[in-house]
Structure 1
Amino acid sequence: MRWLVLLTALLLAFPVTAHQQKIAISTISHNPRTNLLEVTHRVPLHDAEHALKSRGAKAPDIVANVETRRMFARYVSNRFSIGQEEADPVELLLLGSEIEGGYIYIYQEASSPGPGTELLIFSGIMTDIWSRQESRVNMGSGTHVETLIFQAGDRPKLAILP
């Protein structure tokens, strides 16, 4: 009985490291050299695999299975959009993905409408799966960053491209 109490105390004392962070971060920036809109999505691997599992994938392994990684990249690209109020959505090209540390990075790009343009942004990355999920979008770089925060049920939001 003493060992059970000791084990319970140890489990409570040390947090479990493999838990869902429930946050995805996307960054949108204008590249003046190429005149492209560059989008990078960063999602914790653990969350990404749980998201695929909740969508019906059996034993998803994003690190070892390239097709599983592509499946998640397509999911992210379908849950993220950029547009202008009166125009069609910007067509974002899915460039690919990579694993770094405990994250999957997904890259997209499109022709840039240019700095100062008002954009209509939507990021529903995993907000359709978990109600507590937060999907953040950072616009710009350096000291000129505006952050939009999306949660389940949110609609697109307006932001100015720096």
Structure 2
Amino acid sequence: MTTKLSRCARQWGLMALLLVTAFSASAHQIKAAITTVLFNPRTENIEVMHRFNLHDAEHAVKMLFDKSADIMSDESTQQAFAEYVDEHFAILNADGEPLALKPVGYETEGKFFWVYQETAQPPAMEGLQIRHDALRDLWPAQVNTLNVEGNGPLKTLTFTDNVTLLEVKFNGHHH
């Protein structure tokens, strides 16, 4: 009997240890968001898809709005967070003029909170300048990664530390 009990206790102890390890790992998890800027040839729009960890978004709304803010079930909190993201993200053309991004919507999906924006594709673009400060005002360690797709090879920008504006160049269509 005793061996059975101790084996059971050992398994519980191991499980508890695993839970604690998993919990502390998630507590120190790097805060990161991923954004895709897609040149959609079908719609001739530039579509922007921001993907935040729901966990980060939950913390963020409590800091940004109030302690009872609930991004899981409160529509107005989701809307407010999407507006916050809109305000902290900008696409400018090569001359530094902002493109008019319009909000398309937002949703929770599994462990993620998505925010969508779009703008009409300017006829000729030598490049883009992009500002992505969402959550970086709350957490200096926040890393925002951005992929530009659909206009030549995939380009990846990483917003870390005090980087505020990053640039992508497009080659003309003569290649």
TM-score of the aligned structures, taking structure 2 as reference length:
0.79
Is the helix fraction higher in 1 or 2? 2
State the one-letter code of the partner of 1:61: D
SS of corresponding position for 1:14:
helix
Compared CA separation, residues 98 and 13, structure 1 to 2 (3 A): closer
State the one-letter code of the partner of 1:95: V
- Gaps (5+ residues) in structure 1? 1-5
Which 4+ residue blocks in structure 1 deviate beyond 4 angstroms? none
2:32 to 4, 16, 23: 23
The residue that corresponds to 1:72 in the other structure is 81
Comparing 144-153 and 45-54, the one that deviates more: 144-153
TM-score of the aligned structures, taking structure 1 as reference length:
0.84
Pairing of 1:104-123 with structure 2 (within 5 A) = 104-114=113-123, 117-123=126-132
State the one-letter code of the partner of 1:148: L
1:10 to 17, 22, 27: 17
Contact 1:35 1:111 in 2 (8 A): yes
Aligned residues: CA RMSD: 2.6
The residue that corresponds to 1:100 in the other structure is 109
Compared CA separation, residues 87 and 37, structure 1 to 2 (3 A): same
State the one-letter code of the partner of 1:136: T
State the one-letter code of the partner of 1:62: I
- Gaps (5+ residues) in structure 2? 1-12
